[in-house]
Amino acid sequence: PSFISSWYEATAQNVNLSHLVISHNLREYPVKVDVQVKINEGGLDYIFSGLGSSQRDDDLFKDYGGVIYKYNDQHIELSFPYLENNADTGGLVYTGSDKLYFGPTNLLGPYKDGHVRARVWLASDMPYIVLNTSVYMSETVNYKEITHELGYYPDLLTVQTLLSDGYMSDGVGAVFMASTPDKYNSLSGVLYGYDE
């Protein structure tokens, strides 16, 4: 990578500590950003990935969690969960202890304290970029298929969304909520999958 940050302390459920900006000063939009979230359980460190979008916040009275990030050519902005108006059950990491699905039993969460860091790759860090294409998507134009014509599964694939404020956000490969039970909730983000 062109940039690896230091580890920074991170805390969920504290509005005053819910935002962190990590400057990379590369003056170029990254082709890959990896935000790492480290928690400690039983004296062992575990690292999870940050997310380019969130599927749920404090509107449902259920546990939730995740570190959300966006980035531009100068820095990465990280957001940590905090109580806005309903539930203070969000953490930096959450693995499903609310019996919404069956996950690991040794790492339940939500974990409210931990550390974060960012790693950034520029196009010049990559050995060979096969496909770099842009498509327009919106609330109504919300499905696209892009052919890479490799004939095999890519070793690395990233999906980036250029937001209206000039920041970029990364797509996610899975969601844990397919619909929302309440009219004031909304689901967001770009979901993607790929084949050979």
- On the CB side of 35, CA atoms within 13 Å amount to 30
3-125 is a CATH 3.40.640.10 domain: no
Q: Which of 42, 37, 114, 38 is nearest to 68 (CA)?
A: 37
What pLDDT, on a 0 to 100 scale, did the predictor assign at position 184?
56
Distance between first and last Cα of the chain: 26
Residue 178, SS3 per DSSP: coil
Q: Amino acid identity of 23?
A: S
Non-local CB neighbours of 8 within 8 Å, separated by 6+ positions: 20, 22, 115, 116, 117
What pLDDT, on a 0 to 100 scale, did the predictor assign at position 191?
76
Element (H, E) at 193: none
> H helices within 79-195, ranges in order?
none
User: What pLDDT tens digit does each residue of the chain (196 aa) get?
Assistant: 999 999 999 999 888 899 999 999 999 999 999 999 999 988 999 999 998 776 666 566 677 778 999 999 999 999 998 877 777 778 888 777 656 666 667 777 788 999 999 999 999 999 887 788 888 888 788 888 999 888 999 888 889 999 999 999 998 876 655 566 666 565 667 777 888 9
What pLDDT, on a 0 to 100 scale, did the predictor assign at position 166?
95
Q: Amino acid identity of 154?
A: P
